Chains A and B, each alone.
Chain A
Amino acid sequence: MDSETDMVRQIRALDSDMQTLVYENYNKFISATDTIRKMKNDFRKMEDEMDRLATNMAVITDFSARISATLQDRHERITKLAGVHALLRKLQFLFELPSRLTKCVELGAYGQAMRYQGRAQAVLQQYQHLPSFRAIQDDCQVITARLAQQLRQRFREGGSGAPEQAECVELLLALGEPAEELCEEFLAHARGRLEEELTSLEAELGPSPPAPDVLEFTDHGGSGFVGGLCQVAAAYQELFAAQGPAGAERLAAFARELGSRYFALVETATISYILTLTDEQFLVQDQFPVTPVSTLCAEARETARRLLTHYVKVQGLVISQMLRKSVETRDWLSTLEPRNVRAVMKRVVEDTTAIDVQVGLLYEEGVRKAQSSDSSKRTFSVYSSSRQQGRYAPSYTPSAPMDTNLLSNIQKLFSERIDVFSPVEFNKVSVLTGIIKISLKTLLECVRLRTFGRFGLQQVQVDCHFLQLYLWRFVADEELVHLLLDEVVASAALRCPDPVPMEPSVVEVICERG
């Protein structure tokens, strides 16, 4: 009985579920039927359209076949005619070429003339054997020669400004004139123009007071001379690019010569300005003997040199003190195995980079000796090959130091003696070289005064390798840095009772990590 009631109940539940399903989804069922009906209609319509499309295509193919058939023979004739027309046009151009060229030459439209000439050249070359063409070509050549002559004359007069000159030169080059001569003439003309500017500037500075306002003078100089020089240089480079290094050298020499004269004038102007200023400020009487401007210029230069040398010394001193303290205060006998480069070395490199940037703002780069491509990798080749392994023999028999000393002495004979305070020139590389030389020499002397344990020596090795990796790019001659640092490590080795150098590969790893 119970199971029966249960089943009845279940049946009733199922029924009611079914009904709810139907009620809920009633709408969906209806829309589904609608969609299906619409799809049926659409497909029927599409079928009709497709049939019509097929019939139309058939008709079109039919027509097209008929048209091509009718026009077939005409087609060939038309192409032939079109070709002949084009040819005739070209021939007309060629026949008209001499007269057109003449007109261009008269009008002075040389560029256009050259363009026409260029276009026709190839064809004329090819059909030289035909008399009519030959005649045309001869005519053209005559006219071109005349054109060239006119161009040359115009160029030689040089009265026109730089852009026209440049154009002349360009055309002349295209005409196949020898580039060398053109170079020379071009530079000569440019020089003439620029010298005029210079003389006018000089005249302004002349002995008659009042000296010109310095701002005006520089303005005049800047726009006139410097602008002209830049224009000339740009044009030259464009035109004579194909000349290669010889041409570039010539331009450089030219620019340098004129530039130095200009700068001398600027110097004199500045000094004169200062003089007039002092005169105004201090009410100087005319009776006192006045120092001529040239001696003041020389003095100013001398002072600049001394100032620069002093700067180098002071900066060198700053870095030297850092290095000295670092060597003097560390306990080198009981130091542990080196794991990384000492912080002071990184500081030294940072400071040197900062100085480099600072000086680079004021001075140009300067000349550096050409480096080999793997210069920074040339780490221990000098160190291990030039010093024999016998150097690290623990026994201090009287002969052993002699041998290694002899070797290092011979090496020193063949390398130039390093002059620590040699005169500094006005370029960045020279200044940096001076500073680095002072610092490394200090390091060397300080190292020679201490005694090192084995790990102390290795720490020095690591530090020197690190410095070598980073300092070589600041100096004029990277051999210098190698030499000094080699000497530092060698001196440390001599000061060590138990010298066991670190493996070069390990040193490199430590430095790279740092």
Chain B
Amino acid sequence: MEDDAPVIYGLEFQIHIIDFDDENNIINKNVLLHQAGEIWHISASPADRGVLATCYNRTSDSKVLTCAAVWRMPKELESGSHESPDDSSSTAQTLELLCHLDNTAHSNMACVVWEPMGDGKKIISLADNHILLWDLQESSSQAVLASSASLGGKGQLKFTSGRWSPHHNCTQVATANDTTLRGWDTRSMSQIYCIENAHGQLVRDLDFNPNKQYYLASCGDDCKVKFWDTRNVTEPVKTLEEHSHWVWNVRYNHSHDQLVLTGSSDSRVILSNMVSISSEPFGHLVDDDDISDQEDHRSEEKSKEPLQDNVIATYEEHEDSVYAVDWSSADPWLFASLSYDGRLVINRVPRALKYHILL
């Protein structure tokens, strides 16, 4: 992706594509119609930037059914065109349906995740208590169910969210149902690990540390964010309790895993610096050879103590619950947050910290 960072978010039956030009701080908006139903989950294909998958609600004779489908955006909107705002208010365009993730056998799709490093051919969807692995064939116009797994047990178990781990050759997926986190191997569709009672209440979201293999973060309705080492699941490595209500999203920065972003229904977005459990707990160690002659030779020794974790900043620009936060894939210092009242806020990591991490 280039310099500007298009952001997609679903608004009822529309998808808004926001182009953010960070050199000039200008925002352009394009609207796509998604007539199939109300969107509850959206995710973009990592391989083809014009393809995305949505989970949406369809109301049929007073019953609400959540389905999933794969769509393609119109060509002009893919690469973030620099249209002037006047043009975008013309006719909204529609998405082209590529294929449905057919769910006659199962009831409600909770979310859809793409294989991160793959060629956009593998997709996993979570429906009630099933994990379904799909193969997208014939340029994504057909979805074939490759394998599936179910959660056994008493009561109505329901998956709430899932994430595909970028490690282990993309063969691991983690899911959350109620208060339990589970890890699955996609080759055999069997459970690898299980973290019971990860949170006191419902687990809302989870994310994998992009740099450290076995680490993941989860957040839930007990207002806490917990960091886990999947090799030792009896106890979290770290717990953050900065929010005062349910935490809906937790996201690691794609390159610098000490930066963790969380959004909560107390209307706050908190950026935390989890240095001690990141891949660089002692800060950025620089070899002497790398220092150019123009810079001063810093003879100060960096202490060998791990740096302290702290909250970098709390962003309070939202007036209502924040339901989604994410990092930009173009610029690692840029992130966006979305709240219930439709406000999208784009922020940057404070410059001082950025230089501290880089240098």
Contacts and interface: CB of A to CB of B under 8 A. Distances in A.
B63 interface: yes
Contact of B245 (A398, A413, A421): A421
B221 to A, nearest CB: 8
A51 B38 CA distance: 116
Contacts of B14: 398
Contacts of A445: 246, 265, 321
A409 B265 contact: no
A396 B14 CA distance: 11
Q: Is the interface of B mostly helix, strand, loop or mixed?
A: loop
Contact of B341 (A317, A405, A421): A405
Q: Which of A401, A409, A419, A420 has the most CB of B within 10 A?
A: A420
A453 interface: yes
A396 B12 contact: yes
Contacts of B201: 317
Nearest to A329: B156
A334 B62 contact: yes
Interface string B5-17: 0000000111000
B213 to A, nearest CB: 34
B135 interface: no
A448 B341 CA distance: 12
B139 to A, nearest CB: 32
Contacts of A451: 38, 57, 59, 64
Contacts of B176: none
Interface in A359-414: 396, 398, 401, 405, 408-409, 412-413
B27 to A, nearest CB: 16
A413 B319 contact: yes
Contacts of B319: 409, 412-413, 417
A499 B222 CA distance: 33
A419 B341 contact: no
A417 B267 contact: yes
B342 A405 contact: yes
A448 B340 contact: yes
Contacts of B244: 419-422
Interface in B242-262: 244-246
Contacts of A18: none
Contacts of A398: 14, 31
B331 interface: no
Interface in B232-286: 244-246, 265-267
A334 B201 CA distance: 29
Interface string B32-65: 0000001000000000000000000101001110
A439 to B, nearest CB: 12
B59 A333 contact: yes
A5 to B, nearest CB: 103
A159 interface: no
B341 A408 contact: yes
A396 B13 CA distance: 10
B21 interface: no
Contacts of B206: none
B265 A333 contact: no
A100 interface: no
Contacts of A412: 319-320, 341
B198 interface: no
A333 B59 CA distance: 9
Contacts of A408: 341
Contacts of B265: 441, 445
B325 interface: no
A78 B52 CA distance: 124
A422 B245 CA distance: 11
A453 B62 contact: yes
Contacts of A491: 340
B68 interface: no
A334 B63 CA distance: 8
Interface in B304-345: 319-321, 340-342
B70 interface: no
A409 B64 contact: no
Contacts of A422: 244
A497 interface: yes
A26 B76 CA distance: 135
A208 B59 CA distance: 79
A141 B244 CA distance: 73
Contacts of A441: 245, 265
A306 B63 CA distance: 45
Given A409-B319, A421-B245, A333 B63 contact: yes
A420 B221 CA distance: 13
A451 B13 CA distance: 14
Nearest to A415: B319
B216 interface: no
A402 B246 CA distance: 26
Contacts of B38: 451
B223 interface: yes
Contacts of B245: 420-421, 441
Query: When A and B form their complex, which 3 residue pairs have the shortest distance between CB atoms, in order from nearest?
Result: A421-B244, A334-B62, A333-B62
5 contacts: A333-B59, A421-B245, A451-B57, A451-B59, A453-B62
Given A396-B12, A445-B265, 17 more contacts: A317-B201, A333-B59, A333-B62, A333-B63, A334-B62, A412-B319, A419-B244, A421-B244, A445-B246, A445-B321, A448-B340, A451-B38, A451-B59, A451-B64, A453-B62, A491-B340, A497-B59
Interface of A: 317, 333-334, 396, 398, 401, 405, 408-409, 412-413, 417, 419-422, 441, 445, 448, 451, 453, 491, 497
